[in-house]
Amino acid sequence: MLRMGSTPREWADGSTIRLDRQDPYLRLQSITIFVRDLDRSLGFYVDQLGFQLVFDARDQPRRRWITVAPPDGTSNLTLCAPEPDSEECKLIGRSTQITFVTEDVLAKFREWSKRGVRFNFAPRLKRLKHGVHVRAPQSAASAQNSEHGPIWGGVFTRFKDLDGNSFSLVSFDEVTRAVEAQRRAIAEKREAERRAAQELEIAKQVQARLFPQTLPPLRTLEYAGICHQARQVGGDYYDFLDLGSDRLGFVIGDISGKGIAAALLMANLQANLRSQCAIALDQPQRLLQSVNRLFCENTTDGAFATLFFAEYDDAARRLRYANCGHLSALLLRRDNTLDRLDSTATVLGIFKKWNCAIAESQLFPGDTLALYTDGITESFSEAGEEFGEKRLVEALRRHRALSSQASLTAVVDEVRQFSPREQHDDITLIIAKCLPS
């Protein structure tokens, strides 16, 4: 028979092991208490004293033992029912010389008394002044107000279990102060964590609103985008900008760093692009130069972003683009050939004096355009393999008959199945399909 009340690490060691120590770990594990009936005693220690069951086992066919522990304790009591007429049987009902410490003896005395625990006497005060030990039967409050003014004080009592085994229950001023300080520290830590989690959730909701909420309609192109963040907020960015005159801007970017810092830079980049996009129609280079300058001015040294910006002409089915240090966009032609839209400029945010080249590509009915971040291609399998561009192209080919939204979902599902572990980077993908005439 084997029954545990907690995990193996917990029953092996009720406390946190300090791994920063150089000397071997050492603490008191268990003290044996001899009882007459294990099940009856287990009810006393668990139901009346509020102890936790740690272990219930047999090491021999007829020899059973149970281990219990105080709720906040690091040492255990092992309950053992010896054979009748054995030497161990004579140890039942003795003074155990075991002392339990609590922050409030009076509160524990009242609680356990209501549960039927037998105390030898009501809690008493112990005082110590100038090395002299004094025991006073008066209440703790009156003793604290006495003229002695103890440097150290404590309250104690004794109680018995069902077999007459006796234990001491004490509290010390130092223990109470330490417990209160620890509780305050834990409460402050939990409140700080709660506020941080709340603020992070607000940041997540705000950032979610920065992604496109509507898709400007096009006659010749069907498109969709998605971003799955590795953390609650992240540095990947995609956008669809209505440039007017039947033109749509496709944007995808990857900000250096992760978490809140990257999210703030992402919001800055998005604000710069949206505020400057009016000049994109005739002068996309000027737009990107302005965005780069503002990004340099508003960010710290070392921060940068890769960016793919494309302007799609709905009437001409023409794509003009600038790839600023980003991964090559993939243009899967209707005949299954592949065009890679490679880099035409360096990343944003490093050089204030910066320029870029604009490239063009003609789209035809049946073509599929895919823009993505490295969260897709750099997802790793459990065997350490990278998803890579080749698998992405194969996935796009498999799902090319689907709508843009359905194809998007299918590709991302493949990435997640390939890399089932915790996601370490943002996964962002845009898929656009050129419609028949």
Give 99-136 pLDDT, tens digit per residue. 898 888 899 999 999 999 999 999 988 665 444 444 44
Look at residue 4 in the predicted model and tell me its pLDDT.
Answer: 41
What integer is the mean pLDDT of 184-213?
79
Please give the angle made by the CA atoms of 357, 359 and 362, to the nearest 5 degrees.
Answer: 170
Contact 285, 307 (CB under 8 A): no
pLDDT tens readout for residues 354-363? 889 999 999 9
With beta carbons less than 8 A apart as the criterion, state whether 237 and 253 touch: yes
- Point out which residues pair with 118 in neighbouring strands: 160
Higher pLDDT, 170 or 201: 170
213 pLDDT tier (thresholds 50, 70, 90) = confident
Average pLDDT over residues 68-89: 88
pTM over 0.85: no
Residue with tokens 């936790």: 52
3-state secondary structure (DSSP) of residue 250: strand
The label of the residue with tokens 């419609």 reads: 435
What would the mean pLDDT of 291-307 be, rounded to a whole number? 83
pLDDT at 149: 40
Can you read off the two tokens belonging to residue 430? 């845009």
Contact criterion met (CB below 8 Å) for 323 and 336: no
Residue 179 confidence (pLDDT): 66
Least confident among 49-53, 85-89, 205-209? 205-209
- The structure tokens listed for 167 are 């234990």
At residue 3 the predicted structure's pLDDT band, cuts being 50, 70 and 90, is very low
CA distance 153 to 176: 11
Instruction: Give the pLDDT confidence score for residue 19 in this predicted structure.
Output: 52
Q: What is the pLDDT of residue 377?
A: 92
Q: What is the pLDDT of residue 138?
A: 43
Structural domains in the chain?
Answer: 1-92 (3.10.180.10), 95-181 (no CATH), 203-434 (3.60.40.10)
Rounded (to 5) percent helix, strand, coil in the chain: 30, 30, 35
- Identify the band that residue 1 occupies on the pLDDT scale cut at 50, 70 and 90: very low
Task: Please state, in angstroms and rounded to a whole number, the distance separating the CA atoms of residues 320 and 311.
Answer: 5
Per DSSP, the chain holds a count of helices (H) and strands (E) of: 10, 21
**pLDDT tens-digit readout, 227-270:** 887 666 667 889 998 888 889 999 998 888 777 777 777 887 88
Residue 152: pLDDT above 50?
A: no
In this prediction, residues 178-186 reach a mean pLDDT of 77
Position 141 scores a pLDDT of: 40
CA–CA distances in Å: residue 246 to residues 222, 226, 270, 363: 14, 23, 22, 15
* pLDDT at residue 132 in the model: 43
Query: Rounded CA gap, 392 and 316, in Å?
Result: 28
CA–CA–CA angle 431, 432, 436 (5° rounding) = 145
Lowest mean pLDDT among 21-25, 108-112, 214-218, 386-390: 21-25
Q: What percent of the chain has pLDDT over 70?
A: 82
- Tell me the C-alpha distance between 428 and 370, whole Å: 11
Going by pLDDT thresholds of 50, 70 and 90, the confidence category of residue 165 is very high
* pLDDT for res 143: 38
DSSP of 33-76: EE-S-HHHHHHIIIIIS--EEEEEEEEETTEEEEEEE-TT-SSE
Q: Is 325 helix (H, G, I), strand (E, B) or coil?
A: coil
pLDDT for residue 320: 94
Burial of 243 (0-12, 13-18, 19+ CB in 10 A): buried
Burial of 160 (0-12, 13-18, 19+ CB in 10 A): middle
Q: Which two tokens stand for residue 98?
A: 């075991």
User: What is residue 150's predicted lDDT score, i.e. its pLDDT?
Assistant: 38
Cβ neighbour number for residue 109 with a 10 Å cutoff: 19
List the single range of 13-22, 112-121, 133-142 with lowest mean pLDDT. 133-142
Cα 85 vs. chain centroid, distance in angstroms? 57
Query: DSSP letters of 266-280?
Result: HHHHHHHHHHHGGGT
Q: Percentage of the chain surpassing pLDDT 90?
A: 43
How far apart, in Å, are the Cα atoms of 165 and each of 7, 58, 119?
Answer: 29, 23, 12
Give the residue-averaged pLDDT of 44-65: 85
Average pLDDT of the chain to the nearest whole number: 82
Query: How high is the pLDDT of residue 300?
Result: 73
Query: Which token pair is 344?
Result: 């035409």
For 380-428, the pLDDT digits (tens) are 888 889 999 999 999 999 999 999 999 999 999 999 999 888 767 788 9
Q: What is the mean pLDDT of residues 336-352?
A: 91
